[in-house]
Structure 1
Amino acid sequence: MKGFLLALESGSNPAASMSPPVSPAPAAASPNGAPAPIRLRPLHFLDPLRWLRAGAVDLAATPLIGAFYGLAFWMMALLLGWVFRTRPEYVMSLASGCLLLGPFLAMGLYETSRRREAGLAPGLAHSLTCWDRHLGSMGMLVLVLIVLELLWGRASLVVFAVFFNTGMPSTTGVLQAVINPQNWSFLAVYTLVGGVFAALVFSTSVVSIPMILDRDTDALTAAISSIRVVTENPAVMLWWGFLITVLVIASLMVWGAGLLVVGPWLGHASWHAYRAAIEPAAPAD
């Protein structure tokens, strides 16, 4: 299977795609043998636009890989939309499954950008198997994200229960409640609760997954470093989160088909966000 995937991505240089996977960059060690501290770089307001531009370059250079991951993101969006319309009670359960799969898909895009940065030919097989060297750290981080998502879902149900004490509204009722200006108090509380959990998820994951891929760090170190990036550059990261939100919402306008491009584009751009925010690891002596 892996050989077939390598052949699929070989293009004009078949031998290049047979190159071995890139090993994670070794973290520098302090004189006492402990890992060197993670050093952050200051970010500037125009940096997110540079990340998007670099992500577009990566996507244009690897269109087949981008098409594969874009199709995966689109299928998840279509499935979530169908479940929401037919069996809304299962939406949160399915969203948890997508949250489990999403980071592994994103890691494949990070691997593609990383190989291009290292001057090696990226391949679909490399992107699909890069996570197996970091399964422990990735599993722990995904577990944290799932817990946050479940708490988010529970908090949302509580908000609905408080404002709709006659029972949970139907799918149509939910949509009407969200867009009804008379329910401004519900909208305010729901937005506030959702914003808090969205900020937690974003802060925990914005650079943690590419850091695990690049440095093979543990999940706790990666998550803390990601939160530090957000807290030390709040305006830039808020701007970055806004751009991501706008692009994702725009991609969902026509049956989610925009995710075919926006999904892999943001994945590549997120790798460059990590590179801009974290000092590269110095080679070990």
Structure 2
Amino acid sequence: MNHTPDPTASRFPTIRQVHARAVFGWVQAGWHDCRQSGFASLFYGTCFAAAGWLMQVVFEHASALFAGLATGFLLFGPFLSFGLYDLSRRIEIGEPPRLAPTLVAWRPNLANIGVFAALLAVVLLIWARASIIVFALFFAGGLPSFAEVVRTVLTFEQADFAIVYFAVGGFFACFVFAISVIALPMMLDRKTDAITAAIASLFACARNPGPMLLWAACIAVLAAIGFATLFLGLIVTMPLVGHASWHVYREVVADEEKTDLC
């Protein structure tokens, strides 16, 4: 059989310019989807929390690696949230938000989603290595426990460590955010190729720097709540981020039949 590629898959989308107040609408819409999805959303949130708990057990005596992976696995969050995007898509088109179909939502665009997931995995591994190096530079006498690291940061005993660690981590987080903020929802909705989706995401950030910075700050606060509650809060905060991200995509990217810039 001859396979005819979808001509819209690599078509560059029209990016809308939005107001900063749109961020509050995204969060509100995400919360609505969380409530509509119920168990399905909580399932994905529990997966995030379970990943944190598992890493805490496995890397209990390797605080540098645990800190890097615990914060770094959120860099992989856009891919892990794929099922949440599909739940929001189903709610939007009037379908029941059932869990089972969302578990394989990546299949229709497997190759491109796999490429994007591989990129995120590479970034995660690089960040984990960078985290170990930063720890080694500031704790030459031996690596502290994770509790000691938290105490050191909160009490400003080593302010220079906190500044360097969060600066390096922030660089990786900004990079992942810029290439993925609308990329994976678009790959789900339009079967877009990975390169087009990543470039469109970068362009969306460039055209809407204020709203995107505010949205990134919201994600950081929600993630911090999750960490502050020993990952328990991720059960709610990560589904909220995932559902809201779908609405970011739907508002920032114009419908395919529309060609005008707003």
SS, match of residue 105 in structure 2: helix
CA distance in 2, matches of 1:173, 1:100: 24
Question: Residue 181 of structure 2 corresponds to which residue in structure 1?
Answer: 206
CA distance in 1, matches of 2:143, 2:72: 23
**1:39 is aligned to 2:11:** no
Identify the range of structure 1 (46-55 vs 242-251) with the bigger mean alpha-carbon deviation: 242-251
CA distance in 2, matches of 1:195, 1:150: 15
Q: Which amino acid aligns with 1:121?
A: P
Spell out, residue by residue over 1:50-101, the C-alpha distance to the aligned partner (whole angstroms, 9 max, x if none).
0111111112222121122222222122223333434446537965995697
**Structure 2 matches for 1:121-160, cutoff 5 A?**
121-160=96-135
8 Å Cα contact 2:13-2:254 kept in structure 1: yes
8 Å Cα contact 1:69-1:264 kept in structure 2: yes
SS, match of residue 269 in structure 1: helix
CA distance in 2, matches of 1:191, 1:97: 12
CA distance in 1, matches of 2:229, 2:141: 34
Structure 1 residues not aligned, in runs of 5+ = 1-25, 30-34
8 Å Cα contact 1:100-1:142 kept in structure 2: no
Question: Residue 197 of structure 1 corresponds to which residue in structure 2?
Answer: 172
CA distance in 2, matches of 1:92, 1:257: 17
Count of residues in Structure 1 that have an aligned counterpart in Structure 2: 253
CA distance in 2, matches of 1:188, 1:95: 18
**Structure 2 matches for 1:213-232, cutoff 5 A?**
213-232=188-207
Q: Find 1:258's aligned residue among 218, 233, 240.
A: 233
Structure 2 residues not aligned, in runs of 5+ = 1-5
Structure-2 change in CA distance of 1:103 and 1:174 (3 Å): same
Quote the RMSD (CA, aligned, Å).
Answer: 2.7
Q: Find 1:234's aligned residue among 209, 219, 225.
A: 209
Q: Which amino acid aligns with 2:85?
A: Y
Q: Find 1:275's aligned residue among 250, 255, 258.
A: 250
Q: Find 2:220's aligned residue among 230, 238, 245.
A: 245
Spell out, residue by residue over 1:227-262, the C-alpha distance to the aligned partner (whole angstroms, 9 max, x if none).
221122121111101111112222343333222222
CA distance in 2, matches of 1:219, 1:92: 29
Q: Which amino acid aligns with 1:83?
A: V
